């Protein structure tokens, strides 16, 4: 039923636009991220109450490209076309000459110029309005925060229209099958935190609406993040009968306790995954090297003691050399001298021949004692 209707209406709509005067309004620009929604306003303001008979939305990706139909409205029938099916819909009040368009799940290929054309009953004038859409890479939908920190959860409906949000709901869910908990509710100019009347909810005094509501910005600030705050946060922006939703997942990281940095504490980071093997190797190596170290220390000590003993012996030898043993001398009186002394009757002179007697000679047991003459004087050797 729909397909024949499309084929029948298309030529009629194209022919209907020929030969009419155009009223063109300066184009507006809108910037969104991939995956977000874009609200493109198209409102014709007139003092005369005339019924809107036709609304067309066209798309052009460049200056020299052919325009493609996005959506057309005729005879109370709104029909999305081409790759925009299931992603666009009219959200304006047609009875008030409002042909605003909502584009959901924006893709990178959606960047370009969107032109709205409104035609009134019994009117040759065509109202045109263009919107230049810029598409940025997708924003992260997962955030991370440490316990005790504050974090901002963004929720903005990008729009060029005059529609303003009338209601905002923020809900929290800790898991897939967990019940959603309302953490903040905004209605018109009144902001209400909803929770248990007795404890006012665990988000009481920790959630603040920081977005500019006049620009459809419903961003909030969550203060004093707790471990139990991890989960999914869903923002719902209401513009009359239109509802825009965005979900953000929050991951909470526990703060590590502050510890004194010591070499032992740094070992796990340095050693990595092989720390156990390295520690065992170090212990085994220490055990094997310990006997060697002990032997080295002992040898060093022994050498030191030997050197000290050697020095002591040399010192004693020097002392002995400096104080040599006293020699023993004996006097030998020859027979001739005795006879002369007896004949002369006086002893004119006495000559003594000194022969050293070494202790070794006195102490040697094998040496026979020398023959001594009378008076204890050693007997002189006879010459042959």
> 87: which DSSP letter?
T
* Residue 5 included in any domain: no
Using DSSP, state whether 362 is helix, strand or coil: helix
The pLDDT, as a whole number, for residue 319 is: 57
Distances (CA, A) of 269 to 254, 260, 277, 279: 19, 15, 14, 13
* Residue 322 included in any domain: no
Instruction: Count the alpha carbons within 13 Å of 26 in the hemisphere toward its beta carbon.
Output: 1
The pLDDT, as a whole number, for residue 160 is: 85
* Residue 34 included in any domain: yes
Distances (CA, A) of 6 to 17, 54, 87, 101, 102: 17, 14, 18, 20, 21
More confident residue, 290 or 220: 220
Using DSSP, state whether 50 is helix, strand or coil: coil
Give residue 299's pLDDT band: very low, low, confident or very high (50, 70, 90).
confident
The pLDDT, as a whole number, for residue 339 is: 54
pLDDT in tens, 6-44: 433 443 344 344 444 666 666 789 999 999 999 998 988
> 241: which DSSP letter?
T
Indicate whether 103 and 58 sit together in one domain.
Answer: yes
Average pLDDT for residues 174-185, to the nearest whole number?
A: 86
More confident residue, 364 or 233: 233
* Residue 92 included in any domain: yes
> 147: which DSSP letter?
T
The pLDDT, as a whole number, for residue 80 is: 92
Q: Where are the beta strands (DSSP E) in the chain?
A: 21-33, 38-40, 52-60, 68-74, 77-80, 88-90, 101-103, 112-120, 125-136, 142-146, 151-153, 158-159, 167-173, 181-187, 190-192, 207-209, 220-222, 231-239, 242-253
Indicate whether 131 and 154 sit together in one domain.
Answer: no
Indicate whether 131 and 159 sit together in one domain.
Answer: no
Residue 189 belongs to what domain range?
142-253
Whether residue 194 has pLDDT greater than 70: no
Share of the chain above pLDDT 90, in %: 30
pLDDT in tens, 66-112: 889 999 998 888 899 989 999 999 988 888 888 999 999 999 999 99
d(CA 46, CA 312): 126
The pLDDT, as a whole number, for residue 354 is: 60
Q: Who's near 96: CB < 8 A, 6+ residues apart? A: 43
- The verdict on pTM exceeding 0.85 is no
Q: Who's near 151: CB < 8 A, 6+ residues apart? A: 143, 145, 221, 222, 225, 250
The pLDDT, as a whole number, for residue 233 is: 95
Of 253, 281, 300, the one marking the end of a domain is 253
* Residue 353 included in any domain: no
Indicate whether 161 and 86 sit together in one domain.
Answer: no
Average pLDDT for residues 172-190, to the nearest whole number?
A: 84
d(CA 312, CA 319): 11
Pick the range with the lowest mean pLDDT from 144-148, 172-176, 241-245, 363-367.
363-367
For 51-85, give the DSSP string. -EEEEEEEEESSTTSPPEEEEEEETTEEEE-GGGT
The pLDDT, as a whole number, for residue 341 is: 52
Whether residue 221 has pLDDT greater than 50: yes
pLDDT in tens, 249-281: 999 998 776 655 555 544 444 455 567 778 888
Indicate whether 114 and 155 sit together in one domain.
Answer: no
Indicate whether 149 and 187 sit together in one domain.
Answer: yes
Indicate whether 41 and 119 sit together in one domain.
Answer: yes
* Residue 360 included in any domain: no
Of 237, 253, 269, the one marking the end of a domain is 253
Indicate whether 93 and 132 sit together in one domain.
Answer: yes
Rg (CA), the chain: 59
* Residue 33 included in any domain: yes
Using DSSP, state whether 149 is helix, strand or coil: coil
Question: CA torsion angle for 155, 160, 165, 170 (degrees, to 10)?
Answer: -10
* Residue 318 included in any domain: no
Indicate whether 78 and 168 sit together in one domain.
Answer: no
For 289-357, give the DSSP string. HHHHHHHHHHHHHHHHHHHHHHHHHHHHHHHHHHSPPPPB------HHHHHHHHHHSS----------B
The pLDDT, as a whole number, for residue 65 is: 80
d(CA 384, CA 381): 9
Indicate whether 132 and 188 sit together in one domain.
Answer: no
φ and ψ of 267, to 5 deg: -60, -45
Indicate whether 176 and 205 sit together in one domain.
Answer: yes
Task: Classify burial at 52, counting beta carbons within 10 Å of its beta carbon; exposed 0-12, middle 13-18, buried 19 or more.
Answer: buried
Using DSSP, state whether 154 is helix, strand or coil: coil
The pLDDT, as a whole number, for residue 70 is: 94
Per the DSSP assignment, residues forming a β-bridge with 39 are 102, 159
Pick the range with the lowest mean pLDDT from 139-143, 278-282, 314-318.
314-318
For the chain, the domain total comes to 2
> Residues for the chain: how many in total?
384
Whether residue 313 has pLDDT greater than 60: no
Sheet of 190-192: strands edge to edge? Answer: 142-146, 242-253, 231-239, 167-173, 181-187, 190-192
Indicate whether 121 and 157 sit together in one domain.
Answer: no
CATH number, domain at 95? Answer: 2.60.40.10
Of 107, 136, 165, the one marking the end of a domain is 136
């Amino acid at each position: 039923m729909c397909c024949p209707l499309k084929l029948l209406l298309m030529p009629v709509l194209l022919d209907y636009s020929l030969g009419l005067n155009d009223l063109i309004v300066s184009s507006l620009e809108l910037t969104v991220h991939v995956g977000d929604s874009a609200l493109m306003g198209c409102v014709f303001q007139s003092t005369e109450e005339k019924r809107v008979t036709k609304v067309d939305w066209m798309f052009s990706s460049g200056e020299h490209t052919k325009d493609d139909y996005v959506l057309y409205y005729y005879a109370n029938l709104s029909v999305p076309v081409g790759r925009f099916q299931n992603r666009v819909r009219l959200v304006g009040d047609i009875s008030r000459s409002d042909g605003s368009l909502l584009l959901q799940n924006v893709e990178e290929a959606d960047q370009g110029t969107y032109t709205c054309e409104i035609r009134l009953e019994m009117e040759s004038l065509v109202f045109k309005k263009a919107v230049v859409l810029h598409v940025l890479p997708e924003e992260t939908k997962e955030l991370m925060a440490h316990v005790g920190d504050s974090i901002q959860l963004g929720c903005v409906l990008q729009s060029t229209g005059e529609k303003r949000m009338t209601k905002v709901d923020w809900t929290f869910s800790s898991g897939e099958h967990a019940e959603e908990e309302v953490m903040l509710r905004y209605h018109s100019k009144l902001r209400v935190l909803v929770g248990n009347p007795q404890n006012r909810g665990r988000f009481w005094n920790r959630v603040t609406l920081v977005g500019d509501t006049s620009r459809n910005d419903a961003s909030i600030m969550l203060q004093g993040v707790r471990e139990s705050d991890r989960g999914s946060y869903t923002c719902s922006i209401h513009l009359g009968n239109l509802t825009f939703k965005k979900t953000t997942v929050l991951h909470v990281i526990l703060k590590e306790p502050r510890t004194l940095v010591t070499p032992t504490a740094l070992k796990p980071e340095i050693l990595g995954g092989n720390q156990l093997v390295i520690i065992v190797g170090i212990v085994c190596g220490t055990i094997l090297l310990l006997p060697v170290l002990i032997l080295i220390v002992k040898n060093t000590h022994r050498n030191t003691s030997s050197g000290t003993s050697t020095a002591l012996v040399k010192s004693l030898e020097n002392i002995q050399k400096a104080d040599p043993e006293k020699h023993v001398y004996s006097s030998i009186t020859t027979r001739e001298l005795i006879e002369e002394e007896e004949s002369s009757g006086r002893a004119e002179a006495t000559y003594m021949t000194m022969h050293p007697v070494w202790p070794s000679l006195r102490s040697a047991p094998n040496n026979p004692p020398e023959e001594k003459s009378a008076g204890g004087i050693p007997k002189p050797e006879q010459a042959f």
